[in-house]
Amino acid sequence: MSAPTSTSWRSAPRAAIVGLSTRADDADSLLRARAAGLPRRRVDLESAIAVRPQVVVRYWGGDPRLVAALEARGVRVVTIDEAADFAGVRANIRKVAQALAQPARGEALVRDMDGRLARARGAWGGDSVLYLTPSGVTAGPGTLVDATLAAAGLTNAETRPGYQTVSLEGLALDPPKRVVLGFFDSFQAAGDAWGPGRHRVLKRVARERAVASLPGATLSCPFWGAAEAAEILAAAAPSRGSR
Does the structure show a pLDDT above 70 at 6?
no
| pLDDT digits 0-9 by tens, 154-190 | 999 999 999 999 999 999 999 999 999 999 987 654 4
More confident residue, 189 or 149: 149
107-124 average pLDDT score: 97
Going by their DSSP bridges, the two strands 163-165 and 137-139 should be labelled as: antiparallel
Give the Cβ contact number of residue 234 at 10 Å: 21
Return the percentage of the chain with pLDDT > 70, whole number. Answer: 88
* Domains of the chain from N-terminus onward: 14-116 (3.40.50.1980), 122-242 (3.40.50.1980)
Does the structure show a pLDDT above 80 at 127?
yes
Residues in the chain: 243
Distance of alpha carbon 163 from alpha carbon 40, whole angstroms: 31
Least confident piece of the model among 24-28, 42-46, 54-58, 196-200: 196-200
49-55 average pLDDT score: 88
| pLDDT digits 0-9 by tens, 69-113 | 999 999 999 999 999 999 999 999 999 999 999 999 999 999 999
Going by pLDDT thresholds of 50, 70 and 90, the confidence category of residue 2 is very low
Q: CA nearest 84: which of 131, 18, 147, 170?
A: 147
**Long-range contacts at 8-11 (CB < 8 A, ≥ 24 apart):** 8/35, 8/38, 8/57, 9/57, 9/96, 9/97, 9/100, 9/102, 10/34, 10/105, 10/109, 11/97, 11/100, 11/102, 11/105, 11/106, 11/108, 11/109
The DSSP annotation for 136-193 comes to SEEE-TTSHHHHHHHHTTPEES--SSSEEEPPHHHHHHS--S-EEEESHHHHHHH--T
Task: Please compute, for residue 241, the number of CA atoms within 13 A of its CA located in the half-sphere on the CB side.
Answer: 0
Going by pLDDT thresholds of 50, 70 and 90, the confidence category of residue 4 is very low
